[in-house]
Structure 1
Amino acid sequence: MQMLGTFIKPMHPEGTKFVAIFATATLGLFLLSPVVGWIGVGLTIWCYYFFRDPKRITPTRPGLIVSPADGIVSLIEPAAPPAELGMAETPLTRVSVFMSVFNCHVNRTPIAGEITSVAYRPGKFFNASLDKASADNERNSLCIRMPNGQELAVVQIAGLVARRIVCFVTPDAQMQTGERFGLIRFGSRLDVYLPPGVSPLVSIGQTMIAGETVLAEMPVEDDGPRTEL
C-alpha cells in the first residue's frame, strides 16, 4: 500500500470535470480505433496526474518563506510588485518559479499571514518562462501581511497553455505557511516578491517543491540586550 501511494496521489476537486471529459472522449476514440483509444487513455492519465494534490510537509520554523509552487526557479531579479496590489513601488527581489505541464499545479502560501489584497488582471499568454510574462500575461496577485507588519506578494501568472487561474482565498483570510490558496491549469508560473532586506536562498535552475522547499528566511528579530551568565 505504501508503494501504491508513491504513484497514486489524491486529485484536487478542480480536476474532476476535466478527467471526466478526457475519459468520455477516450471512450469515443475506442469506437474509432483501439490504437487511438489507448492514446486517449494516456492523455486521461496525464490529466489526472496534472491535477494531483499530494500532501506536503511544511517546515515549521518561524520566518521561513517556502516555495508556492512546484517547478524550476527561472528568474531572480529586482522588480516592483504589481501596481494593482497598492504596495510601494520600490523594487523588491522577485523569485519566479516556472511550472511545466508535468508539475503539480496546486499553489501554496509562502508564509503565514493575512491576505490583505487579491487582484485579478486579464492579459496575454506569452510563454511563462519569459521575463515579460510578469508584466503582460493574465495574472492574479495576492498581498500577504505577516504578523510583524511586513508584506509579501505572490502572483499567479498564466502561461502559453494555461487559460484559467483559480484562487481559493479572499481578502482578510488568515493563512498558514504551505496552505493551499489556488491553482493554474496547464502550465504557468508563480512570482514571489520578497520583503525588503530578505535575500533568496535558492538559485536559478533549482527544483522547487510547493510548501516544502525553503525559498528565503526572514531575519531574526533582536529581542534586546542579553546578559551573559
Structure 2
Amino acid sequence: MRAPAQEYGVTMAARVTPIAQELFDGFANSSAVHVFTELLGLIFDGTLPPGSAVSENDVARRAGVSRTPAREAVQRLRELGIVETSVGRSSRVAVITETRLRQTLVVWDALFAAVLEEVVPVIDDEDLAAMEEATRVFRIAADQGKVSEAAQANFDLYAVVVGRSGNPPLIRTIASIVYLVRLGGQSLPRWIDADVLEAAQHDLIAALRRHDLAASRAAVRSAAGFQLPPDD
C-alpha cells in the first residue's frame, strides 16, 4: 500500500515521519533533520502554539543534540515562514494574520490546480479509499473537538493527492505552503468550519472518482474558504 502522507507531512502519532524528501535538501546532517521534524510535530500538535518562543538552546537541550543542528533546523523553519524573528532577534512560532492566510490560500489553490492537472487522470481506488478513511477520521475528531487530530486528517486527505505527483519541486513548494495554511488555522481558530471542510472533502473524492478535473478544482477551492471576513 502506498503511504503518500508519509512523504508529504509529519504524522502526529509519529513525529519523525519525513515530510516531502525535497525539504531535506541542504541539511548538513541527520541530527538537523530529526530536530526539524520534531519541531514541526511540536508546533502542529499544539505543544508550541503560534507565538511560542523558539530558543536554539532550548531546542538543542530538548532534542539532546548540540546547538549546531538545532540552529540549522530553526533556520529552515524561518525560511519556510513557520518561525519568525523579531527586531530584538528573539524567535517565535509565527502568528499568521488573516491577510497573510488569505494570500497563502490563493497560492495554495494555484499550486493544487497544477497537482490536479497531473493527478486526476491517474487517481485510483486505493487512493480514494485512503481519502475516505481520512474523511472518516476527520469527522470523528471534529465531533470530539480534537482540533489537532482533525487538522491532521484533513492534511492526510490532501496528501494522498499530492503524493501521486511526480514533480518534486511542486511537492516541495506546496508542502511549505500547506504548513503556513495549517499554522494559520491554529492562529485563527474561528476560521475553521468543520462542516465546510468535510463537504469539500466529499466533493473532491466524488470528483476524483469520476476523473473530473473541473469539479476537483471546484472542491479544492471551496475548501480554501476564500470568503473570510476582513481583518478587524
User: How does the TM-score come out when normalised to structure 2?
Assistant: 0.26
More strand by share: 1
User: How does the TM-score come out when normalised to structure 1?
Assistant: 0.27
More helix by share: 2
